[in-house]
Structure 1
Amino acid sequence: MAQKADEKPKSSISMSDTQFKELLTTVMTGISSVSPTRTSKTFTSCTARFSGIRESSQVESFLAAVNTFKEVEKLDDALALAGLPLILTDDAAIWWQGSKDNVLTWNDFTDRLRSTFAPKKMAYKIYQEIIEIKQDSQTPTEIFVAEKRALLAQLPKPTHSDQQQIDLVFGQIRFEIREKISRNSISSFDELLMKARDIERNLSERDDASTVESKQDYKQKKARSRCNFCRSFGHTYEICRKGLMMKWDNEYLILRHKMLLLLKLLP
């Protein structure tokens, strides 16, 4: 068939693999250059909060959390300082409002926070807290030892050796645990805690067994009890219904007799 005069022949574009890859790279580069940049993060999603409690452990826990968040999210000092109102509450928020104009770096903020809410204690006061406060039966040994080690960490350098620290803490552990552990058998805090956990578990089982036995003894004693009034088993005279009825009847008769005497005395 003859081709029409005004119809142009179709042309095809051939492209090598290298040329196609170069074209694709150019297109993707152009798309990425016009795509919106990711919004910089701040402490919006940080769950740590500090209300201004004047306690060293609380301050250090808060700083550890926010420092980790800052590093993971790669926040610079300016963004981190600007986001502090999101995580400081109560007294800490009031303090920050009055101090923020003088704080220019993150390290300056952490130093000021420590000096305000967790000022360094004198060494003798730290030793007093370590020695004077003993472990009670409600505090697990793991928590108790952690609190003591936190106090030891506040002591000025040079620090005590591990054995010296164990000596300071060991004497404050409750007697029920300490009597079952030989001090000479402890070479580290991990070993002390491992043995203490086993002892605490045994003590807990003993207490549970004692509670069950006490309840059983009470039930048996109640079942064996016998009333001195009606001579029936299962209750005592103090709660005997027959005895109470008799007592109430007697009181009624006495009251009635007094009323009759009073009426006779009236003119």
Structure 2
Amino acid sequence: MSEQATNIVMSDNQLIHLIEAISRTSLSSREESFERLIQSFSSISTSDTNMQRTSFAKCLSRFSGERDFNVVEEFINTISIFKKIENISDDDAIEGLGLLLTGQASTWWQGVKMEVKTWISAINLLRESFAPKKQPHEIYLELFSTRQGLKESIDTFLCTKRALLSQLPTQRHKEEDQIDLIYGLLNIYLKKHIPRSEIKTFRDLLTKGRHFQSLKNNEEGEKLITKRCNYCNKRGHTEDECRKKQYNEKAKNMEKPGVKCYGCGTPGVYRSNCLNCKSKETPPKPVQFYSIINKTIEDGVKIPIIEVTIKNSNGYAYLDSAARTSIAGSTLYELLLKEGYTFTDKEAIVNLADGSTKHTKLKVITIEINIGNRCVPITFSAMPDEKNTRTLLGIDFLESAGIVLNLPQRSWYFIDAPETIFPFLQIKNVPALIIKNSQNVKKLDFTNINLTSCPQFICSTHELKTKTKVK
């Protein structure tokens, strides 16, 4: 009988069966029967132990296919350690590797699973597919591409750079050479307080760097606590750094943009309030269409008037942003009829100035009008039954033509050309000379004419012609 101790595991039923068998046999045969039973139980226990297989079912690590060297290596190290601790066979590890792969990595594994024969080949294939080995020149480029930030921890910086150096061929650089490569990438503050001659190992660099950053953080914290602004009486900054003081001083010293009259250049006033320009009037000249209001206009309040040309006929028109449509005055309507233009009829409800409404028939026409330095289309509505109506350029035309009114400066311009400004006409509230038929107008010869005996409009016309020749 062997003296070596053997650990036997049996159930309660097996133990009862053993006792009954021993009691039925004689003393001489009991020892033989006992040994046979022990051998049978040992073989059963060994077979039961071999049947308890382990796998990656309890492993918590997962990989979804990130193409990052550090992520792949972390995953491989984790599952390799788990496989060793749980005593997982290579076949079971290959079979259960799909449990740990998700997303793109799982799809990849389904395609290459049949090619894998050993656990080592599976690990190598995983590295080649998602973290191929970088060439040394690529590692050097990535190493020197970034420097340590002013507030970046020395631990994080060294960990990142040493991970890159670890991908180089074995024993490519000694530790002292690696320190030389990394030391030049430290921020200026660390290199000021930690000379290269005092560093022998990475442990020295890490220890001294941690100490300096700890002192710097404590110093900044104390400064924030002790600082107090004398201007706003708040902590954390000084009076020179106070943004509230800087804002107030900037607002106090900010000079308002200079305002001057557009007409004569008088500083500090708009053209509508300028005493010099209010007294100046635009010299009247003969026009084909124009009308004024019969009632006296309040002194100092002038409706914007501009000069327009319609089919070689000059005239004046009012700019009225309150009118929804442009109106052809009575004289313009008659002029267009004589020129042979055709109007279309349109029924409309007109809102009058007193608030009442009137159902009337309008005559509508679309023609081209010269205004400023452009020729643009306009749709006029005319009221043939009304007399002495004004020609209005309404809000519909102002929007379509892109006209911007600058009422304080008594001027206007096109929205796409604000540098070209056109002034309003300063016309008195008196009737202008209306030319009934432009074809019968004779050309005036101003030579050898005594201007003192001529009408006012002829004198004004002569002045305009003389100015034009001088220019």
TM-score normalised per structure 2: 0.40
1:96 is paired with a residue of what secondary structure?
Answer: helix
Task: Give, in angstroms, the shift of residue 119 of structure 1.
Answer: 1.0
Query: Which residue in the other structure is 1:186 paired with?
Result: 199
User: For 2:142 and 2:110, how far apart are their aligned partners in 1?
Assistant: 33
Query: Which residue in the other structure is 2:108 paired with?
Result: 95
- Cα 1:142–1:25 change in 2 (3 A) is farther
Q: For 1:124-203, what aligned pairs fall within 5 Å after superposition?
A: 124-203=137-216
User: For 2:120 and 2:172, how far apart are their aligned partners in 1?
Assistant: 24
Confirm or deny that 1:75 pairs with 2:88.
yes
Once the two structures are superposed, what CA deviation does each residue of 1:124-174 show, in whole Å capped at 9, x if it has no partner?
A: 111111112111244321221121111111123551011100000111122
User: For 1:212 and 1:163, how far apart are their aligned partners in 2?
Assistant: 41
- Cα 1:92–1:125 change in 2 (3 A) is same
Bigger helix share: 1
Structure 1 vs Structure 2 CA RMSD:
3.4
- Cα 1:200–1:25 change in 2 (3 A) is farther
User: For 2:225 and 2:39, how far apart are their aligned partners in 1?
Assistant: 74
Out of 101, 109, 130, the residue aligned to residue 122 of structure 2 is 109
Task: Give, in angstroms, the shift of residue 24 of structure 1.
Answer: 9.5
User: For 2:151 and 2:119, how far apart are their aligned partners in 1?
Assistant: 39
User: For 2:66 and 2:36, how far apart are their aligned partners in 1?
Assistant: 56
Confirm or deny that 1:222 pairs with 2:232.
yes
User: For 1:71 and 1:105, how far apart are their aligned partners in 2?
Assistant: 15
Query: Which residue in the other structure is 1:3 paired with?
Result: none
TM-score normalised per structure 1: 0.69
User: For 2:112 and 2:142, how far apart are their aligned partners in 1?
Assistant: 31
1:83 is paired with a residue of what secondary structure?
Answer: helix
Confirm or deny that 1:33 pairs with 2:23.
no
Task: Give, in angstroms, the shift of residue 204 of structure 1.
Answer: 1.6
Task: Give, in angstroms, the shift of residue 44 of structure 1.
Answer: 1.4
User: For 1:139 and 1:82, how far apart are their aligned partners in 2?
Assistant: 43
User: For 1:179 and 1:23, how far apart are their aligned partners in 2?
Assistant: 83
User: For 1:52 and 1:139, how far apart are their aligned partners in 2?
Assistant: 29
Q: Which amino acid aligns with 1:145?
A: L
Deviates more, 1:164-173 or 1:142-151: 142-151
- Cα 1:115–1:186 change in 2 (3 A) is same
User: For 2:197 and 2:159, how far apart are their aligned partners in 1?
Assistant: 21
2:176 is paired with a residue of what secondary structure?
Answer: helix
Ranges in structure 2 where 5+ consecutive residues have no aligned partner: 1-22, 235-243, 249-300, 302-352, 355-471
User: For 2:204 and 2:35, how far apart are their aligned partners in 1?
Assistant: 62
Confirm or deny that 1:205 pairs with 2:200.
no
Deviates more, 1:29-38 or 1:52-61: 29-38
Q: Which amino acid aligns with 1:165?
A: Q
User: For 1:138 and 1:54, how far apart are their aligned partners in 2?
Assistant: 28
Once the two structures are superposed, what CA deviation does each residue of 1:180-203 show, in whole Å capped at 9, x if it has no partner?
A: 111111111111111111111112
Q: Which amino acid aligns with 2:59?
A: C
Confirm or deny that 1:120 pairs with 2:130.
no
Q: Which amino acid aligns with 2:141?
A: Q
Q: Which amino acid aligns with 2:139?
A: I
Q: Which amino acid aligns with 2:187?
A: R
Identity of aligned residues (%): 31
User: For 1:75 and 1:169, how far apart are their aligned partners in 2?
Assistant: 41
